[in-house]
Amino acid sequence: MNCNLCGTPLGDKIYDSGDALSLTSLCNVHDGRTEVYVCGCCAHVQSAAMADIDAYYDDSYDILIDSEEEDQIYEVVACRKVYRTEHQVKVLRDKLALTTGTRILDYGCAKSATMRTLVGQIPELEVHLFDVSDRYRPFWDKFITWERGATFELPADWKGSFDIVTSFFSLEHMAQPQEALRKIAALLKTGGTFYGIVPNVLSNTADLIVVDHVNHFTPPSLAWLLRANGFEVQEVSDSVHRGALVFVARKLAQPASAQPTVQDEVQAIVDRARRIADFWQQAGARVQAFEQTLAADAPVALYGAGFYGAFIASWLRQPQRIRCVIDQNAFLQGRQLHGAPVIAPADLPSDISALLVGLNPAHARQIVGEIPAFARRSLNCFYL
């Protein structure tokens, strides 16, 4: 296997889920293997592509499709919730000059809640949308005219016509990012801007084992991809959106000659990627080692309905031993997860003594230690 970006043959795997199930970015279980590599040339971190990747996005990728208004909370400032879309629009407007008549295309846009919000603020923008699925058309119809949207194929007359192309959490999914960047460069006017955001695997380390993220960009690998497709990199920021990289790049009239990567920087990032991979690999092995200390069919409770809990469930040799999933989020209680009901901590059955704690290890012990219902219980706890 070669690097998706620079083409260098990739060496040893840094992570392999083996027989464990894989997890998608939507926290669903995927019946396939997660294998992760790091490129020693451009510092790109890369997962083997899912076999059925095109069908997966066209048919089953249901990100927030249930509701128009559903959005993820980015942060809470002075008791006011700031949603991810709102934050993305704010950062975009901070970074780019948007004026009447600016032609802007959101590439790989899904529902494009970001563009919908932006049009609400600046109605004079000429917003266009593109994705590889028809399923989002009903959402687009609410804020753009039909001919400003395209699915599967790009209209020929869009070539060289855009001032700005945007990409919000999309490049990480693409099995052929070079091909996407070539198309994006061709859509822009000379001097036009490519603006985007991708997960930052170095700060959001769970991204490394998300099976549908083929690409885990690092600052040097992202810059490499942009330069290789005729862009001048104006900014790659790891601080304006938590857990993500925000980039601004300008399409040059003539591609610049190849710029060598800084080998010390690449090596430092390769080392960090290996440490992240080692954490997850050992965490999986530790789940199985803990399970071996339990009686054959001993039931367990899993604490945490999020990604860390799903990770533990994916590594259990006998996941059917999960009797209940404990979570403090009242909206989740009563639902089924990993084949078991989600319950409040106080409802933990008295005959369960083993607790698998699926929480970020940085905070897990404190959170579990402060639960009143567990204070009088003698629980055999496993922490990641």
Q: Which residues lie near Zn ion (CB under 5 A)?
A: 3, 5-6, 8, 39, 41-42, 44
CA pair distance 306, 247, nearest whole angstrom: 28
Q: Which is nearer to Zn ion, 39 or 185 (CB)?
A: 39
Q: Which is nearer to Zn ion, 42 or 201 (CB)?
A: 42
In sequence order, the β-bridge partners of residue 150 are 130
Q: Which is nearer to Zn ion, 7 or 369 (CB)?
A: 7
Q: How far is the CB of 310 from Zn ion (least distance, A)?
A: 29
Q: Which is nearer to Zn ion, 44 or 338 (CB)?
A: 44
Q: How far is the CB of 179 from Zn ion (least distance, A)?
A: 16
Q: How far is the CB of 1 from Zn ion (least distance, A)?
A: 11
Q: How far is the CB of 227 from Zn ion (least distance, A)?
A: 13
Measure the CA angle with vertex 256, ends 157 and 221; round to 5°.
Answer: 90
Query: Distance between alpha carbon 304 and the CA centroid of its chain, in Å?
Result: 19
Q: How far is the CB of 29 from Zn ion (least distance, A)?
A: 30
Q: How far is the CB of 120 from Zn ion (least distance, A)?
A: 40
What residue spans of 46-191 are helical by DSSP H?
53-55, 84-95, 113-121, 137-140, 177-187
DSSP 21: P
Q: 229: which 2 tokens? A: 């497709």
Residues in contact with 193: Cβ distance below 8 Å, sequence separation at least 6, in sequence order: 96, 163, 164, 165, 248, 249, 250, 251
Q: Which is nearer to Zn ion, 3 or 20 (CB)?
A: 3
Three-state secondary structure call for residue 23: strand
The residue with tokens 């007359």 is 157
First and final C-alpha spacing in the chain: 31
Q: Which is nearer to Zn ion, 6 or 175 (CB)?
A: 6
Query: Within 10 Å of residue 373's Cβ, how many Cβ atoms?
Result: 12
